[in-house]
Structure 1
Amino acid sequence: MKSPKFLKPFLLIISLLLMTASCVSRKDVVYFQGLETAEAKIDTQQKSTLQIKPNDLLTISVSAPEQEAAMPFNLPVIGVPQGGMEVGLSVNGRQQLQTYLVDSEGNIEFPILGTVAVAGYNRQQLASELKGQISEYLQDPIVNVRLVNFQVSVLGEVNRPGTFEVRDEYLSLPKALGLAGDLSIYGRRDNVLVMREENGTKTHAYLDLTSADIINSPYYYLQQNDVVYVEPNAAQRQSASYNRNASVYISIASVLVSLIVLIAR
């Protein structure tokens, strides 16, 4: 018995749909293509350190050969109440250095020195500035500055979206995506959005992870409170308009058609 004429064209269409759905171009998935060319153009000054901004939290410790003389330049170390909220840098798991909150004008109130402008400095620059001012009162001071509220948010088509606190002074976009478990297979790799606030103005950029040229972008290294958004790709957007199990149903239909053809022979 011959199979119905419509079965073979229908089976061919189903097979083509499956092949089309399963084929993904290398250029759409692989990161950092053309890395050698991009490295030749890299700006060695591009990897700038984080700049201090209003609402940042800082810990600043001052030490000297005569530690007792340096004590007035340090905030008192506080104990952490059991079950209480931790604010500052933990010391030996039970005590913390108090933090300085940078006010809306970019200043902090520092012991002995009074009001000190800190916004716009990076960590090393602020330490050097404070060292110069403290040297008028203290011999050979050592100043250590840390930014303790460096965090970024990674949203969209990643495996573990969320807000992440970062201890490292340098956080690249790929490392931030790594903290979020990398992009899902549905994430668009050529149009990753980075949103940033600079000097009270919101800015943004779209970066192409498939191109190694992103290593030369000023948005490649993230700043505190940056937001990274991974847009869904076309397949994911399209899936929102129909059943996500459509590919499964197509596969089942293909098997059924094959069985019908075999039975009809």
Structure 2
Amino acid sequence: MTRRKTVLFCMLKVVVLTILMSSCTSNKKIVYLQDKEASKPHDALVDNTYPAPRTDWLLEAEDVLSVRINHLTSPGSSVSNFSNDDRSLLRSTIPNPNIHGYTIDENGNIDLPIVGKVNVAGMPLKEATNKIREAANRVFSSPSVKVHMINFRISVLGSVNTPGQYLVYNNTLNIFEALSLANDADDYSNKEGVKVLRTRNGKNHLYHLDLTDEQLLTSEAFYIHPSDVIIVSPLKRKKWSGREAQSLYAGLGVVVSLTSLIIALTR
């Protein structure tokens, strides 16, 4: 009888160990934007407001812009000296902006048909749009100017469901929207260990983000810039997935069956 109790006790330890190994990661490590300064659970339900970091970024050499200028009439007769092809290029919707975009040269200029060279490097996109409008005003009457950056790409790597490079059309993309492009972080991700590598103006900046802390909303890297690389680190101890747990439970069933057989044979 004592031997049987010993065997059953060993089986119980195996079951407890299995449950502990297959347990999920703590919610504190997977829930986004927690109020970690809240002393009581109900304190975390209070609405908080944080100062927003700057959302704009500055244009630099090798950035490619899509520029669309619509106008009514030309204020001077000198415009008639330009070809109709140039005018149609300016006024039409560009079908493939990667081919017809305007690249900022090493001197910070883009060279537009009819309008000429406009220096836009070191400016936010909105300010660059205003400067192009001023230049277009000298050539066209009441021009409407729309400017977009068309080589705004980001890379999302590491413990995400769909890693890769993504083309962005939102100039105020934040870190969560960027992760959503990669179908969110996966089950093995360490949301407290996310890095953003930013290369602008010849410098590399590395930011460390904790996605579980709502103080993230004040971080300079909360809003994503062109060419940013987002790296999501894995957990040091990976959470057991459903498939792995099923395999473990199947193995445990075999152990229980063998133990029962041994007990029956040793009676």
Compared with structure 1, are the counterparts of its residues 104 and 7 closer, same or farther at alpha carbon in structure 2 (3 Å cutoff)? farther
Which letter does structure 2 place at the counterpart of 1:145?
V
Q: Which residue of 2 is the match for residue 77 of structure 1?
A: 89
Q: Is the 8 A contact 1:154 1:227 kept in 2?
A: yes
Matched residue SS, 1:13: helix
Q: Distance in 2 between matches of 1:258 and 1:131?
A: 78
Q: Is the 8 A contact 1:51 1:120 kept in 2?
A: yes
Q: Which residue of 2 is the match for residue 262 of structure 1?
A: 260
Q: Which residue of 2 is the match for residue 194 of structure 1?
A: 196
Out of 102-111 and 155-164, give the one that drifted further.
102-111
Which letter does structure 1 place at the counterpart of 2:168?
V
Matched residue SS, 1:152: strand
Q: Is the 8 A contact 2:118 2:135 kept in 1?
A: no
List runs of 5+ in structure 2 lacking aligned partners. Answer: 36-43
Matched residue SS, 2:190: coil
Q: Which residue of 1 is the match for residue 51 of structure 2?
A: 43
Q: Distance in 1 between matches of 2:87 and 2:168?
A: 24
Across the aligned residues of Structure 1 and Structure 2, the Cα RMSD in angstroms comes to: 3.3
* Matched ranges for 1:51-200 at <5 A: 51-66=58-73, 77=89, 89-90=94-95, 98-200=100-202
Q: Distance in 1 between matches of 2:150 and 2:65?
A: 6
Which letter does structure 2 place at the counterpart of 1:26?
N
Matched, 1:20 2:27: no
Alpha-carbon distance, 1:164 to partner: 0.7
Out of 123-132 and 177-186, give the one that drifted further.
123-132
Question: What's the CA shift string for 1:165-214, capped at 9, x where partnerless?
Answer: 11122211111111101111001111111100122100011111111111
Identity %: 25
Q: Distance in 1 between matches of 2:74 and 2:223?
A: 37
Q: Is the 8 A contact 1:7 1:257 kept in 2?
A: no
Compared with structure 1, are the counterparts of its residues 90 and 50 closer, same or farther at alpha carbon in structure 2 (3 Å cutoff)? farther
Larger radius of gyration between Structure 1 and Structure 2: 2
Question: What's the CA shift string for 1:27-75, capped at 9, x where partnerless?
Answer: 01111112767842x224x242343222111111222221797895967
Which aligned segments of 4 or more residues in structure 1 are displaced greater than 6 angstroms? 35-38, 67-71
Q: Distance in 1 between matches of 2:154 and 2:221?
A: 13
Q: Which residue of 1 is the match for residue 38 of structure 2?
A: none
Q: Distance in 2 between matches of 1:106 and 1:11?
A: 73
Q: Distance in 2 between matches of 1:19 and 1:104?
A: 61
Q: If the length of structure 2 is used for normalisation, what is the TM-score? A: 0.78
Which letter does structure 2 place at the counterpart of 1:56?
D
List runs of 5+ in structure 1 lacking aligned partners. Answer: 79-87, 240-244
Q: Distance in 2 between matches of 1:138 and 1:246?
A: 67
Which letter does structure 2 place at the counterpart of 1:129?
K
Matched residue SS, 1:214: helix
Q: Is the 8 A contact 2:63 2:104 kept in 1?
A: yes
Q: Which residue of 2 is the match for residue 33 of structure 1?
A: 34
More helix by share: 2
Q: Is the 8 A contact 1:130 1:143 kept in 2?
A: yes
Q: Distance in 1 between matches of 2:94 and 2:7?
A: 71
